[in-house]
Structure 1
Amino acid sequence: MPKLSVVIPCYFNEDNIPVTARELVANEANFPPEVSFEYVFVNDGSGDDTLGALQRAQATYPGKIRIVDLAANVGSYNAIVAGMAHATGDCLAVITADMQDPPELMVQMYKYWKQGFKLVIGNRQDREETGPSRWFAQTFHWLMKRLALKNIPDGGFDFVFFDRIVSEEVVALRERNSNVFYLMVWLGFPYVNIPYVRRKREIGKSRWTLSKKIKLLIDSLLAFSYFPVRAISAVGLGLGAVALIYGLYIILLKIVSPAEPAGWTTLMVVLLFVSAFQMVALGVIGEYVWRGLDAARQRPLYVVKQLHEPAAAPVSPAPRAV
């Protein structure tokens, strides 16, 4: 009997939990009868009553829900790794707690897994969201596909179904300041992707702020691409060539016309431009150095405050002999 573990990171999802748990359990009816389920909800240091909502859901669905309560907020990707580390299934899925991704898609993902695919990706072909969030997501994944991992599907993804082997490899990597979904692709297992339309959030407010999005973009680029460092080298070589040509020009001008006044404006523009480039270059190099230091310290990705194991499902009494 294959067992499916569904990992759900939670951060300020108090109002979502009853709906999420109900829809996930109802979706079990779409699977073959031999599949068993567990739902690993990870409370990522929420400041509301997310933990209380999870405990009530655990009591409502005995034997199905495991709660990993983290000591502090460590970010959704580290929370996902925590959930993967505590999952016991033969195959796993990651889905958000806001139900913007259709849980019924997991049935098709499961069929691909049974065919031997270690990784199945639900990629966002389109999204019902509008405004800056939509634009940023499209730009983010366009940059990642062209500058980092060229074999990721278009549209981005954070809804995945994968084999336990993939889970064990990702957990063992203990990658810091990275993107857990891109790590799954980076491992190299052949995958299949299923396009879908991401729903608009109906309950609660997203805590995925602009600063978190920018940090994710920087983390993902630096973790999977040498482009920033190579761009610095290319611009540096270009500036060096320009400086050489300008230096020869100044020497020639001095020889031809010794009384010609120095170009103050040109000199200041060049000085300011080069100085600005040097500061940007130091900043990019500093990002790499900081990530190296962060990895060298080997601090844990997360700390589990308490693990709430699933309550035992009620057992029907055996018929009494007459």
Structure 2
Amino acid sequence: MPTLSVIVPCYFNEENIPVTVRELLANEAAFPPEVTVEYVFVNDGSGDDTLGALRRAQQQYPGRIRVVDLAGNVGSYNAIVAGMAHATGDCMAVITADLQDPPELLPRMYAYWQQGIKLVIGNRQDREETGLAQALARLFHWLMRRLALRNIPPGGFDFVLFDRQVATEVLKLHERNSNVFYLMLWLGFAYVNIPYTRRRRQLGRSRWTLSKKVKLLIDSLLAFSFVPIRAISALGLGLGLVALLYGCYIIALKLFGSNEPAGWSALMVVLLFVSAFQMVALGIIGEYVWRGLDAARKRPLYVVREVWDK
């Protein structure tokens, strides 16, 4: 009998847990009768009573839920890795705790896995969110498709079902400051894409802040693209060419006896521009160096405080 492990990272989701657990359990009726579903909820160092809500749900539905309590907040992607490490299923799925991703897609995704597809992606074709959140999300995924992984489906994704082999390969990588979903694509397995409309959050307040989104963009670009380093080289060569041409121009003026331009303002602009470029270049190089140092330390991605089995 195949087992599906549904991994749910949780951070400040106290209000969502009772509703999410009910929806997930009710959705099991759509699966084939031979499937066993286990739920692995990972508490990512929440500061509210998320852990208490999970423990109450576990007592309400005995034998159905495993709770992995992390010692501190390590980010949703590392929490997902922790869930993968504690899941026992033949295949696994990742879904958000706030039900913005529709659980009713899971049986369809599972059917593709039964056909031998090792990675099934729920693709956010549209979203009920509007305004700045929607614009930033579209910009992020547009940049990633152009600069990093071209096989990312438009609109991005964080709702997936994947084979245990995919989970095993991701866990082997021990990637830090990366994007666990893009790592699944990077492995090279063929995938099926199922478009859907992402729902608006109904309960609680999202903790997915602008600073976390910016960090994810930087992490994803540096982990999967050489464009930042190549951009430094290209801009440096361009500035060198401009400097060479301007030098030839000054020499020509000197040789032919023309008046040399006063040029103090122009010189200051050039100096400031070049200095700014050097600082940006050092910052980009520093990001790569810091990530290398962080990987060399080999600190754990997460620390488990306690696991409550189903």
User: TM-score, length-normalised on structure 1?
Assistant: 0.95
**Structure 1 match to 2:264:** 264
Equivalent positions of 1:1-322 (< 5 A) are 1-257=1-257, 259-310=259-310
Shift of 1:152: 1.2
Deviations 1:22-61 (A, max 9, x none): 0000000000100001100000000000000000000111
Q: Provide structure 2 residue ranges, at least 5 long, that are not aligned to the other structure.
A: none
Amino acid at match of 1:247: G
Contact kept? 2:14, 2:53, Cα under 8 Å? yes
Distance in 1 between residues matched to 2:118 and 2:160, nearest whole Å: 11
Distance in 2 between residues matched to 1:121 and 1:252, nearest whole Å: 62
Distance in 1 between residues matched to 2:76 and 2:257, nearest whole Å: 66
Amino acid at match of 1:85: A
**Structure 2 match to 1:313:** none
Deviations 1:54-113 (A, max 9, x none): 000001111110000000000000000000000000000000000000001001100100
Amino acid at match of 1:93: A
Amino acid at match of 1:51: L
Distance in 1 between residues matched to 2:261 and 2:197, nearest whole Å: 65
Deviations 1:152-180 (A, max 9, x none): 11110000000000011111111000000
Distance in 2 between residues matched to 1:205 and 1:51, nearest whole Å: 17
Shift of 1:228: 0.3
Distance in 1 between residues matched to 2:86 and 2:261, nearest whole Å: 73
Amino acid at match of 2:184: M
Distance in 2 between residues matched to 1:116 and 1:260, nearest whole Å: 74
Shift of 1:265: 1.2
Distance in 2 between residues matched to 1:161 and 1:105, nearest whole Å: 10
Contact kept? 2:44, 2:79, Cα under 8 Å? yes
Shift of 1:262: 3.1
Deviations 1:175-210 (A, max 9, x none): 000000000000000000000000000000000000
Contact kept? 2:250, 2:260, Cα under 8 Å? no
Distance in 2 between residues matched to 1:25 and 1:219, nearest whole Å: 35
Distance in 2 between residues matched to 1:45 and 1:250, nearest whole Å: 63
**Structure 2 match to 1:314:** none
Amino acid at match of 1:207: R
Distance in 1 between residues matched to 2:257 and 2:21, nearest whole Å: 82
Contact kept? 2:43, 2:68, Cα under 8 Å? yes
Amino acid at match of 1:267: L
Distance in 1 between residues matched to 2:5 and 2:259, nearest whole Å: 81
Amino acid at match of 2:216: L
Residue aligned with 1:183, SS: helix
Deviations 1:225-281 (A, max 9, x none): 000000111001100000000011111112223653531111111111111101000
Distance in 1 between residues matched to 2:203 and 2:20, nearest whole Å: 10
Q: Provide structure 1 residue ranges, at least 5 long, that are not aligned to the other structure.
A: 311-322
Distance in 2 between residues matched to 1:210 and 1:29, nearest whole Å: 38
Which stretch of the first structure deviates more once superposed, 102-111 or 255-264? 255-264
Distance in 1 between residues matched to 2:306 and 2:220, nearest whole Å: 30
Distance in 2 between residues matched to 1:295 and 1:166, nearest whole Å: 22
Residue aligned with 1:157, SS: coil
Residue aligned with 2:9, SS: strand
| Percent of aligned pairs with the same amino acid | 77
Amino acid at match of 1:131: G
For the aligned residue pairs, the C-alpha RMSD in angstroms reads 0.8
Distance in 1 between residues matched to 2:257 and 2:275, nearest whole Å: 29
**How many pairs align?**
310
User: TM-score, length-normalised on structure 2?
Assistant: 0.99
Distance in 2 between residues matched to 1:17 and 1:29, nearest whole Å: 20
Amino acid at match of 2:118: K
